[in-house]
Amino acid sequence: MKNISHSIILSTDRCDELARCLTLRGYRLLPFGAAGIVSPRLSRHPDMFICKMGADDDAPVISYHEDMQQKYPGFRPLAPDYPGDIAYNAACTGRFLIHNLKYTAKHILDHAEEAGMTLVNVRQGYAKCSTVTIDEKSIITYDRGIAKACEAAGMDVLTIAPGHIALPGYNTGFIGGCSGRAGDTIYFNGDLSEHPDSRQITEFIEMRGLQVKYFEDEPLTDIGSIITVRNQQS
């Protein structure tokens, strides 16, 4: 059945089984790529260019455009190297925005403040890569700095072991970058059972009334998140 209300922004590096599953569940896939802006190894990662402002499917997204300078005074274009590439990589649950706030794009902060979101400052610039956003107050992360700050802000946090996720060209990938929520399901790009904390991850998600879907025999791989967006009405 065709999903007429939502699409999914997805890296072309995703595993075939994930793409097939999402298509069968009615989502239109929007392949992502933006060469020549950040590192070539991350140029097909949507979470480097698109900040989804909540865990819910209907949460708005704020996207990077190189021509934003006139609209936003002080706008800084993305650049290939850290920290020039992290301005859009905030983790947002709808109630909380988690990022190294020194580097967050101003229009993302403006939107968060207008929406009444709580800002959680952390040292991690790749906050979305590092974080699975489950619902408005629940996250999963390997990053202990994120975990400590979010717990202090009143969030429910599952802290897991780092690593065990592939990212070609790097020593390791990240749990947020290999996952994303669509509808009532958290999807993982590859085989979550490869991760030593897979049981705890599954239980944490299911306790919040959501399902877990992953794909055996596919390496658990960071693809820059799975981002669900509402289709514009014609």
In Å, what is the CA distance from 167 to each residue of 50, 173, 195?
A: 19, 5, 14
Which are the contacts of 16, defined by CB distance < 8 A and separation ≥ 6?
Answer: none
Residue 14 placed within a domain? yes
Residue 21 has a CB neighbour count (10 Å cut-off) of: 17
177: CATH: 3.75.10
**3-state SS assignment for residue 107:** helix
Sign of CA dihedral 157, 161, 166, 168: positive
The total number of structural domains in the chain stands at: 1
Residue 121 placed within a domain? yes
* Boundaries of domain holding 155: 6-64+79-230
Report pLDDT for 234.
39
Full strand arrangement of the beta sheet holding 211-213: 179-182, 185-188, 211-213
Write out pLDDT tens, residues 156-214. 999 999 999 999 999 999 999 999 999 999 999 999 999 999 999 999 999 999 999 99
- Do 118 and 96 meet the contact criterion of CB atoms below 8 Å apart? yes
Residue 92 placed within a domain? yes
Residue 114 placed within a domain? yes
Report pLDDT for 125.
97
Write out pLDDT tens, residues 38-93. 999 999 999 999 999 999 999 999 999 866 665 666 678 999 999 999 999 999 99
Sign of CA dihedral 111, 117, 123, 129: negative
